[in-house]
Amino acid sequence: MVYDEIKAICPHSLQDIFLKSLTTFKIGGKAKYVCYPQSVEELKNLIQYCNQNKIQFYVIGAGSNILADDSGFNGVIICTKRLKQIENLGGGKVKAQAGVTLAELLQFTKNNGLSGLEWATSIPATVGGAVVMNAGAFGGQISDICESVTILMDNKIVVLQKSKLFFNYRHSVFTNCKICVIIDVLFSFNISNVEKVTFNIRENMLKRAKTQSVGFASAGSVFKKTDDLAPAFMIEQCGLKGLRVGDAMVSPIHSGYIVNVAKATSEQVLALIDKVKIAVKDKFNKDLQLEIILLKGE
């Protein structure tokens, strides 16, 4: 009954799908429903249905910063991957829907001679997810180029200017907001040329290959940077590279990553996180804070 009603609203919907198939960590039990809205209207109607029927929902993009629980999610996972429109407004302004990947947006900006996103080379995230976490690398971050965000809140479409987004390190107003759903983002890029942008992309690809090619499924950096010491440095100094709990392992290449070497469970990852936190606290008296998001349904 519920599934039929969901399908009527969002035809591209599935039932009993493993979250490990939707996340870069390749971990997680079954979601009761997974929906792929193809328009803003479908997205709006789907969220309205969930709210009216008191069905919990969670919005994901590429699933690149998520540790999904082994028990799954007893509700609706809304995946934005089919919201893919990109529009060049001229003067360096580009509007991209939430489901556009950073790779797709980077290709678009390169082809149009626009600079400012080259730091995002090889980051497996969507525009929406990148804004939520204020994604960044190599000295750049989303907040540098984000001008405004269009959201769905209380069944209304609202445009928030950058001053209302409260960007901080790996944080935005959306990080802990469960009633705000990003529809699209307006970016402001520097006008450059294809050759310069291509060169910058290649340089960042080489840097990332040397430092962050971990070879296994992961969710990227597990912990947020502290004020003075990088988590990867502290973890390495604690001698934790290669530490394992089951199939969850601190990467021997980049100690800020925990990788899934085969069939790791969320329980194993969380146990490993606890071991790392305790070791860093004992040696450096620092409390590591999670950068990844824990997704657990009731």
- Range 97-121 burial, b when 16+ CB lie within 10 A, else e: bbbbbbbebbebbbebbbbbbbbbb
Catalytic: which of 13, 42, 218, 291? 291
Catalytic: which of 42, 64, 170, 218? 170
Q: Does 291 participate in catalysis according to the annotation?
A: yes
Strands 257-260 and 217-221: antiparallel
Residues in Cβ contact with 46 at an 8 Å cutoff, skipping those fewer than 6 apart: 6, 9, 10, 35, 37, 57, 76, 78
Q: Does 170 participate in catalysis according to the annotation?
A: yes
Is the alpha carbon torsion for 198, 199, 202, 203 positive or negative? Answer: negative
Max Cα distance, the chain (Å):
56
Chain length of the chain = 298
Q: Does 221 participate in catalysis according to the annotation?
A: yes
Catalytic: which of 172, 221, 251, 255? 221
Contact 102, 185 (CB under 8 A): no
Residues with a catalytic annotation lie at 170, 221, 291
